[in-house]
Chains A and B, each alone.
Chain A
Amino acid sequence: MSKLEARGEGYEAEHVHSVYEEIASHFSSTRYKPWPIVERFLKELPDGAVGADVGCGNGKYLTVNPRVFIVASDRSTNLVKIARQHQPHVAVVADNLSLPHPLYCFDFAISIAVIHHLSTSARRVEAVRAVLDLLRRPSGDVGDSESRALIYVWALEQKDSRRGWDEGHEQDVMVPWVIKGGQKAKRVKGQRKRKSEAEHQDSEEQTLAEQLQSKTYMRYYHLYRKGELRHDIEEAGGVVIDSGYEKDNWWAIASPKRDTGPIGS
């Protein structure tokens, strides 16, 4: 990665946001299986809970529990177009550092594979704080359950994955997303449907000429090392209730600290 390029908002616009906007339909066709920890978190919510999915992507977590109501958001309009099809939930276009929700208005929040796309430590902590700010503060009444957020980020420690990163590796990396020639051509024609299994096979067996037309998009990631997610959550004024490692990712369930907000109370 070029050291000359200053990280921050403009950097993310080029190396994260515009990439997802471009690869939206192809990305979505590969993202439909919910991760087990996220699925469990959503299924354990009480019926009627209202929450936010910050950085919802194609909305794959909106199908997990139809008895809760989720207000989803993503920075990519093309991904929101796909996410909003999942009833009864809704999806809007928004930046995760400038979310359009009243403070403390949700029972739960998830932000899955999102915060690792922010390119400075301060912005990652701010993104965690933005998620915690969504959560309802407990009234103190008996039986009033704690509102919780589930955050999921890519791990540095993933020596079993084909990418081979592990402890000691550079944490700020560029990761390729390849759209093969045939698929790219279809996307340009405006087709957004999920590819059938057969089509997928076809694209594996494409000719050399088609492969030459493949397009590679590079996305920025900050790979979290062990303990770093907890650090960011605490820095943002949260407490970690549960946490762990699942298949190349660190996850944590967090609540706002008891003494944080509402302002003036």
Chain B
Amino acid sequence: MKLLTLNFLTCAIKTCKTSPSSFPLHPQDAELEIVESDVNMAFLRNILPRLMWEELRGITRELGLPELPETAPAAEDLGEPSQVAKDLHRLLLETSIREGKLVCGNCGHEYAVKEGIANFLLPGHLV
């Protein structure tokens, strides 16, 4: 599961969604892999304003990945492509969680990631 996905994921339990601590989900016991793909500049530029940068920084820290700069790069920093763009592509689109779990910071529920697929189905009593 590409790390970019975490920018659009939260806890599946309804009562958690209005709590700020449910976003982002926290990867735990994560086994990462790099799945290489071509840099798509248009895609990077488009996605840039949608990134929750502060939360993304937190996730990279939790995963022990290189520290991200304090503020998000601007569109003009991406070049054609610049190192900034290449690094962002590597982090968001090539770095993937293969195995592990995603944990809600509000309720503590753990969602498994297996063979790169995150599973958000809830046990009956939590629906």
Contact = CB atoms under 8 A, between A and B. Distances in A.
A108 B14 CA distance: 20
Interface string B37-79: 1001011011100100000000000000000000000000000
Interface stretch (A99-107, A141-149, A228-236): A99-107
Contacts of B13: 98
A50 B12 contact: no
Interface in B1-29: 1-2, 4-5, 8-14, 17-18, 23
Contact of B12 (A9, A88, A91, A100): A100
B78 to A, nearest CB: 13
Nearest to B114: A77
Contacts of A92: 1, 5, 9, 117-120
A100 B13 CA distance: 8
Given A48-B45, A92-B1, A95-B122, A101 B117 contact: no
Nearest to B111: A100
A253 B41 CA distance: 31
Interface stretch (A27-35, A79-87, A190-198): A79-87
Contact of B119 (A88, A93, A99): A93
Contacts of B12: 94-95, 98-100
Nearest to A93: B119
B44 to A, nearest CB: 10
Contacts of A80: 117
Contacts of A48: 42-43, 45-47
A90 B42 contact: no
Contacts of B18: 103, 263
Contact of B8 (A81, A84, A87, A102): A102
A69 interface: yes
Contacts of B42: 47-48, 67
Contact of B47 (A50, A77, A95): A50
Interface of A: 9, 47-48, 50, 52, 67, 69, 71, 73, 75, 77, 80-81, 84, 87-88, 90-95, 97-103, 105-106, 263
Interface of B: 1-2, 4-5, 8-14, 17-18, 23, 37, 40, 42-43, 45-47, 50, 93, 111, 116-122, 124, 127
